[in-house]
Structures are given as structure tokens and as C-alpha cells.
Amino acid sequence: MTIHREGYVPLLITAVVLIVINFLVIQFFNWPAPWPNLTHLVSTLMFLMILQFFRSPKVSTSLDDQIVYAPANGKVIVIEETQEQEYFNQTRKQISIFMSPVDVHVNRNPISGMVKNYTYHAGKYLVAWHPKSSTENERTTLVVESPLGVDILIRQIAGAVARRIKCYVGEGDPVTQGEEFGFIKFGSRVDIFLPLDAQIKVNIGDKTKAGKTVIAHLA
């Protein structure tokens, strides 16, 4: 298990702040600073909680152009046919995965191919399971064309807690299944829009692992 690069600065800041707080508490109460005291234990727990937000496990993905892998770790909260109005302007199968604060926050490519479109949208910070979060929250949209000529859309969505989305690919970039394409700090939601003839392989409530869980087969 490694620490994601997005965590380096937050973890450093957290460590410095906690060290200062511990020093001030010890000085204020004139404690001899035995280890561990309550302040040390609470500080350690807080640091470990933030540390787990930025864990980045290694993932081995079996490449298959007909398989669509989960782009995020989390729980499937939406499976439905919906009108995708930003890019396709047609009905698509939508799968939404909610990333809780305890999930790994790395986003991975569900398919291999070429990025045809990348768009960033500023927006609100509604809770991630709100029906309008997909269209009103801060978000990024990626459209990837697979080697089979199938286009899918992946949307990273910020939530009430997650207020920073990172996307590391852009229009014209090649992508490979299972490789990292983005990161959402402190969890949120990722939507994926598939063709109507895609065969869905997950159910509402299923837990997913990015680059490992098969969520659909392309026809």
C-alpha cells in the first residue's frame, strides 16, 4: 500500500498542525508529556483517519476491450436508463458509484481507448446521492472511445465534503484499462454512461473496486 501524491501536502499540513496543538496543550497544562496521553492518542487517530483517505493500492487489471470495469471504489447507487444531455443527447445506461470517505479515492480507466472530450464544470456541492448532483455539482466529464469504436462517458462529481476533483488526462490522450485517470479528495461519486445494448453486470448496493470489478460488457 502506498500513499497517493495528492496526500503529500494535506498530510504534511495535518502533521504540523497536530504537533503544534500537542506542544501548546502540553505547555498550557504544564504536562511532563508522558507518552501516550489523551492529546497524543486523539492526534494519532486523526492523522491515521486522514492518512487512509490517501491510500493508493496497486491494482492489476486484465485488459479486455469488451469489458467495462468500475472507475471507482464504492457502492453502486444508480442503475437506470437516462437522457444524457451534455454530450450524447440521447438515452444511455447510467451506473453511478458513491465513494464514501473510507473508500479508496483513486479513479481508474474503465476501458482502454482515446479521450475524445474533456470538460470541466464549476458548480454546487450538493450531497453526492442527490439526483441533481450529476448535473449541478462541480464535475469533470470524459468521453472515451474504445478500440471497438464504442463511446462511453465518465463523470467525476464533487460532493458536500469532496471539494477537489483531479483529472490527469485530456482530450486526445490514450488511456489504458485500470490505469489511474483521476482522484477525488475525501470521496464523492462517479457516473458512467454506456450504450443501451451494454450488459450490466452489477446490482444496486454492490461494492466495487476500481479496475477490478466488471460492471458491464459491451456488445
Catalytic residue among 112, 133, 134, 188: 188
Tell me the three cell numbers of residue 109. 480507466
| Residue in the structure block whose three cell numbers are 492523522 | 47
Instruction: Tell me whether strands 151-157 and 74-84 are parallel, antiparallel or unpaired.
Output: unpaired
**Residue 160 burial class via C-beta count within 10 angstroms: exposed 0-12, middle 13-18, buried 19 and up:** middle
Establish whether 188 is a catalytic residue. Answer: yes
Radius of gyration of the chain, Cα coordinates, nearest whole angstrom: 20
Would you please indicate which residues are annotated as catalytic (active-site) residues? 188
